[in-house]
Chain A
């Protein structure tokens, strides 16, 4: 080594006083620890640009900090103190910033004993050179040197320094990386934290430093008072810098950093930093959640929603350290990291970023307005195009947006603008968020390129929502859509339930939601395509509070009347289906009719009544399983497709058989009515329902139970209260006969003094006899419109073609055998009759009759015979009542006739219109009088009054109030009159006797003892025609050959009787034996008529 070597210069910086070098370069002069300490103290630093990183003593860094505390003139004091406070801020604010702090003890004495070459030697070196204990802040109980026991401090696993007996901590000289949320650590060393802290954080830190100071001063293990006062002074100085000396009560963390011992105090005091509450401030980033807070989505947490957006400082004009996101956390502290905030406050808040709200891509649909019932277009400025063709953007928001905002809120918050950038057209979406405490909305903006590859160029799928009712008034909503694996379809949210149906190649799905589906998620091949923002149902300003609904569940049609306080009316039904996509109309109509609910029920204004028909397309029927709506069964609504009522999946006639279809049918009709009620503002629905007294006792029980259960279910599904009183005296459940009479007595205010009511339905004719407003007798006979007309028509397709237009009757074909097997013929034909009867009676029938069309005249005569049969049975009832002594007036009764089947009375007259005194009226009166055995009297008029509201009478009567009709309305207490001699299990009933339940319950033997009354009817009928000199109707004698007639009738009757054997009496639908004979007669005459032409 020569003089030019490094050793010619002092190894150390200058000292004051100056020390001379050694005599010989390279020769180490052994000095004791005290001497080295003296040198260290005497070192003089220029304010250096470069840092001095090492001194010969491994403790030099600690000693530097010691000097910085103790020596106000220490050259690098400010820098060192900055580092010291940076490190203390990390320790004091670890919980507020959200990092993990831990400590690890280093016992040099122990480590020195280890045999490991590296650790042992190094520890011994450290221990050997440790600073003296005399300047220490504290003393240990065992008198050991505090420097022998230090704790390495780690923040988020990274060493930040160690506990120092003289300066509390000795910060590390080099940080491997910045500590998240602590920007004062970003330059690989600690700097002053002040400018990176929010006001609250600064205060919290100042309070904590003051607390440390106080604890040091009060510590019972304190040692060097000089050191303590020096550090106290330094801490106070920094507190002054942070808060201008303002100190409050410290709020300490509830958690302690692990690894720090309870003693000495100067170490233990570091374990608990400032608590979260200390720096808590009002959030500047809490998003105002309105509707979703008021009516949370199922499964929603209802936590505050905090926005994390790195652009906040520029948008709010506030520095990041002053933007409190939540609690004590600032945007600065989390460094813009959602995850960081989530770690800290994830349990208390929901966090969103702009990326969470916006969809990744913008998807487009062909056409300018491919979506319906949406506000999307009102918030769109400009015309998005792909290849010069207009397209519809799907709102490019993620499903997360639905958790936070309702469609109604988004409508106000969203705006879209088509812009042109260098690379093409873009759609700029702005969402204006409301931030708590902020006057101005907070804008989130994202531009989406309009890409051709994102155009979903295919036929638009059918997507519909039901019901269009506010979720303040409804609890269960359906979203219907095609289930398309490769095309555009709806995807559910986690709170949705999914059901599917499949028929052939057609798959559909049904989501149910507990809230109105105001934002519908679209996907294509699993890709999220955005949301359809649905127009939210508007709430009506209405004074209506409750609806009374009368439901007449008929064989062919089901009708209902509503009284919302303004009187009973037939209220056109709105299906309240909301299509969301502008799918092709015909396709949509077909799909909705087949699998859901059509948007409109045609013909407009004429529903109700609606066909009592249900379809189960897409459901594999299972035995003993009642199908559920809508995925397994739904009402078959009328459609412009004439044959829709005759499809394979359509079920009709379930009023009398296959009763398991009743429940889904009634449920859907009740739901649709309820949706109308809710939309009109009603909060309560009172159901009044009717049933035919022809129901067997068990069927009546099942029907009643069905409604009771239904109401309970409706209470859950709808937001409306439903009431159904299972008691006929209370009016909720009435026989059709009573409800029908109530229409004439109460609604029309007709006298019910000596009156018969005949409700001729599709399957039954409900008869009630009234005397002085009191019910004398009621009976439901299974002989009505279908027996009178429809089944006769079914025998002769050519006759149907003669009468009806191809539009309504469709292609009925010529295969009579096939037509006779057609299960839904009745319902289909009832629809044809419903829509065409007026035109038929006005033009075609009078024309054909004026031409004396024999086929038609005979057909009409068959109708007349059937009706007359009913009047004959009415006469028999009167005779029976007279015999029992209850009938006061011995005269034929005026008749009120209505019901869907009563329409056919109009066919009887050549004019196509039944009126009082017309041929058929006179005929019916005569037949009744002859049957009852009453002498004709000029004073008594027993005309028939035909209703002008066919099928409305029962539904209307159910909810009509007026004259107090009296009597025992329970049909179980009113047995039917036989009308013909009958033998059941050996017991014979006379024609004027009531039929009672056999003692043994089971019917072993059932036969008509005679057909005398039927024979009497035929005789009476022909005689009446003759006496009245009627030429418009033919007598029975001219319609059949008497020689063959009786043997065939007996065969038919026998067949009908056999069907009743071995059955429980209570399971049998009551059928008066006379009616059994009448049916047989009607069938044979019809068959012969069909064969003649």
Chain B
């Protein structure tokens, strides 16, 4: 009897888990669709810009004449377009995967609903499935960085799972993407890959907190925003520019050190989650102030609990 009760309890928890996941997937889907729309718009604008550029140069063909067009401009545009296309591709994949997830969840939900009096054997099966998740489950829960797809709750698509139509979801209002999202993604990807070259390329400035500010921080003086200065070597923070704003990220080494120390320097707040290593959820925003940089909005670091 006791076993049956515990079985029912497990089943209920499974159900609530599926429902929660269903909701989360829907939310993510909405966000992705919104982002995709924006990307598409950007792509169109850029394509339009390229075409205008070519027309202005008097070229009859749609192929860019590199000798005539400013090569730096073109290369930036191409990179941008490349990024956007890649983003769009990825988002399409995400859409497809989420569609599959939703479908499977719906199926599971309906199956679960239809279960009225589960046999002892099925309890056992459910119990074992729940308590011993397979490898992919483990990978998508605790030990992935925030920047990775699995953290977003996305699983890799399989060939035999076609994308579903989610036009109905597209109608729902979605929050606009954060302005730092793209640079944050690039930063996180480079961090995950240990790609020092990309991080160097992303870095607009290398900064450290000024010693005067460090002193004030130790004294607990709270009147001023944290002030940083440009250094050439030995910098613990890096500025990355994105959409005309400046975002402050910790260097890979500084980020890593946050798992041990979470210094209160009024640059980042910290949030604890089940992760294997710290990740930047939101970079701090900085602005140039003469020769210094001031933190105008604190960022957020997720640190392992």
Contact = CB atoms under 8 A, between A and B. Distances in A.
Interface of A: 367-370, 389, 457-460, 504, 582-588, 590, 600, 602-604, 638-644, 804-811, 832, 835-836, 839
Interface stretch (B23-31, B93-101, B230-238): B230-238
Contact of A584 (B200, B236, B264): B236
The DSSP consensus for interface residues of chain A is loop
A640 B253 contact: no
B218 A585 contact: no
B36 interface: no
B220 A600 contact: no
A832 B220 contact: yes
B221 interface: yes
Contact of B254 (A587, A600, A804, A836): A587
Nearest to A642: B264
A584 B234 contact: yes
B41 interface: no
Contact of A835 (B200, B219, B251, B254): B219
A458 B196 CA distance: 8
A674 B266 CA distance: 36
A602 B215 contact: yes
A94 to B, nearest CB: 60
A807 B254 contact: no
A1053 to B, nearest CB: 38
Given A457-B196, A584-B236, A604-B215, A640 B220 contact: no
Contacts of A642: 263-264
B254 A805 contact: no
Given A586-B254, A835-B219, A835-B220, 10 more contacts: A584-B235, A584-B251, A584-B253, A585-B209, A586-B209, A638-B218, A643-B262, A808-B219, A836-B219, A839-B221
A805 B253 CA distance: 28
A369 B206 CA distance: 14
B218 A602 contact: yes
B302 interface: no
Nearest to B222: A805
B51 interface: no
Nearest to B251: A584
B217 interface: yes
Most A-side CB within 10 Å, residue of B208, B220, B254: B220
A810 B264 contact: yes
Contacts of A811: 262, 264
A586 B218 contact: no
A1080 to B, nearest CB: 34
Interface string B120-153: 0000000000000000000000000000000000
A587 B260 CA distance: 11
Given A640-B265, A641-B264, A586 B257 contact: yes
Contact of A587 (B196, B211, B253, B264): B253
A369 B232 contact: yes
Contacts of B260: 504, 590
Contacts of B220: 804-805, 807-809, 832, 835-836, 839
Contacts of B209: 585-586
Contact of B233 (A369, A590, A602, A603): A369
Nearest to A389: B200
B303 to A, nearest CB: 12
B72 interface: no
A808 B220 CA distance: 4
Contact of B264 (A369, A588, A806): A806
B261 interface: yes
Contacts of B219: 603, 808, 835-836
Contact of B217 (A367, A460, A807, A839): A807
Contacts of A583: 234
B214 interface: yes
10 contacts: A369-B232, A459-B252, A582-B233, A584-B234, A584-B254, A602-B215, A638-B218, A640-B264, A641-B261, A811-B262
B215 to A, nearest CB: 5
10 shortest A-B CB distances, which residue pairs? A808-B220, A586-B236, A582-B234, A602-B218, A367-B233, A641-B263, A582-B233, A835-B219, A805-B222, A807-B220
Contacts of A368: 232-233
A586 B196 CA distance: 19
Interface residues on B, range: 20 to 34
Given A367-B232, A587-B236, A587-B257, A807 B215 contact: no
Contacts of B222: 805-807
Contacts of B217: 640, 807
Contacts of B262: 641, 643, 811
Given A585-B208, A600-B211, A807 B266 contact: yes
A25 B254 CA distance: 104
A839 B219 CA distance: 10
Interface of B: 196, 200, 208-209, 211, 214-215, 217-222, 231-236, 251-254, 257, 260-266
Contacts of B265: 640
B42 to A, nearest CB: 31
A809 B217 CA distance: 11
A694 B298 CA distance: 49
Contacts of B218: 602-603, 638-640, 808, 835
B300 to A, nearest CB: 14
Contacts of A807: 217, 220-222, 264, 266
Contact of B215 (A504, A584, A603): A603
B221 to A, nearest CB: 7
B135 to A, nearest CB: 25
B264 A585 contact: no
A830 B70 CA distance: 63
A841 to B, nearest CB: 14
A249 to B, nearest CB: 68
Given A603-B215, A640-B217, A586 B263 contact: yes
A377 to B, nearest CB: 12
Listed residue (B208, B221, B261) with the most chain A CB atoms within 10 angstroms of its CB: B261
Contact of A585 (B215, B221, B236, B252): B236
B295 to A, nearest CB: 13
Nearest to B256: A587
A641 B220 CA distance: 11
B219 to A, nearest CB: 4
A811 B232 CA distance: 33
Nearest to B220: A808
A849 B235 CA distance: 45
Contacts of A367: 232-233
A832 B221 CA distance: 11
Contacts of B234: 460, 582-585, 588
A425 B252 CA distance: 31
A640 B214 CA distance: 7
A582 B252 CA distance: 16
Contacts of A835: 218-220
A639 B217 CA distance: 9
A835 B219 CA distance: 5
Nearest to A604: B215
A504 B259 CA distance: 12
A582 B253 CA distance: 13
B89 to A, nearest CB: 30
A640 B235 CA distance: 17
Nearest to B200: A389
A370 B262 CA distance: 26
Contacts of B231: 585
Contacts of B264: 640-642, 806-807, 810-811
A308 to B, nearest CB: 40
Contacts of B263: 586, 640-642
B304 to A, nearest CB: 13
With a 10 A CB-CB cut-off, give which of B196, B200, B217, B231 has the most chain A CB atoms.
B217
A602 B212 CA distance: 10
A603 B200 CA distance: 33
Contacts of B233: 367-370, 582
A392 to B, nearest CB: 9
Nearest to A368: B232
